A = this chain, B = another copy of it.
């Protein structure tokens, strides 16, 4: 089954556009986990098991594992998701971007080593930095387009349209990535929830291409505006990510139950506007 098919099935089965981001920061873990060698894996698997029937995807962020020499725990976490929650796609948030044989190595890292179903990729180096990922047609390749941070505007909002035509850089990325680069139909885009008008613009440019939307919750993005701007005609098309607001909803041994409650409320808040 391809990433796109898995995602469509998870949208339906769990009636959810919610993606839970797994950004494990040991400094924020409940006290009983601190100091354990496998604390990251233990924390994340408990979150996963508590929320898997409420999400359309999980998105581990590799930096949190790499900073702590915990790649083995990331491998084990993804294997756990595949084994215990088959059908829920795993997006490796790595924002890799390189060319030729180096990009091929990154693809081996994401899809071979970590067995991710999709990966986030930075488009700054252009088409030949995207193509090596497309050699894995079952996988999703989700390109940064319009990011949710303030500095996202520094480059992405520049007008590249030429005389008499306005086209922002993020619109060009959307047009290329959703169009001529997307020969295999496996591309998705990252568009931040902090800019609903730009989510709508990207949706208009790319048809039904899936959009990964960070920025609700801690970053202040509005759920209603995000859903109304980004949903497709059938009320799907979105992976709306929440990380910290779910992972750290509880501070003690009941953190997984608190995460479930937060995920349930977020899923339902999203569904209210589909």
Contacts and interface: CB of A to CB of B under 8 A. Distances in A.
A69 interface: yes
A105 interface: yes
A63 B105 contact: yes
A112 interface: yes
A69 B149 CA distance: 32
A106 B67 contact: yes
A193 to B, nearest CB: 14
Interface in A120-168: 122-130, 144, 147, 149-156, 158-160, 162-163
A268 interface: no
A63 B125 contact: no
Contacts of A151: 99, 125-130
B147 A172 contact: no
A271 B102 CA distance: 28
Interface stretch (A49-57, A90-98, A220-228, A258-266): A90-98
Contacts of A126: 147, 149-156
Interface in A70-106: 71, 95-103, 105-106
B149 A63 contact: no
B101 A23 contact: yes
Contacts of A129: 149, 151
B172 A113 contact: no
A108 interface: yes
Contact of A149 (B112, B125, B153, B156): B125
A66 interface: yes
A127 B99 contact: no
Interface string A40-71: 00000000000000000000010110110101
A67 B109 contact: yes
A173 interface: yes
A98 B99 contact: no
A25 interface: yes
Interface of A: 23, 25, 61, 63-64, 66-67, 69, 71, 95-103, 105-106, 108-109, 112-113, 122-130, 144, 147, 149-156, 158-160, 162-163, 169, 172-173, 176
Given A63-B96, A126-B156, A130-B151, 5 more contacts: A66-B106, A95-B122, A125-B151, A126-B149, A126-B154
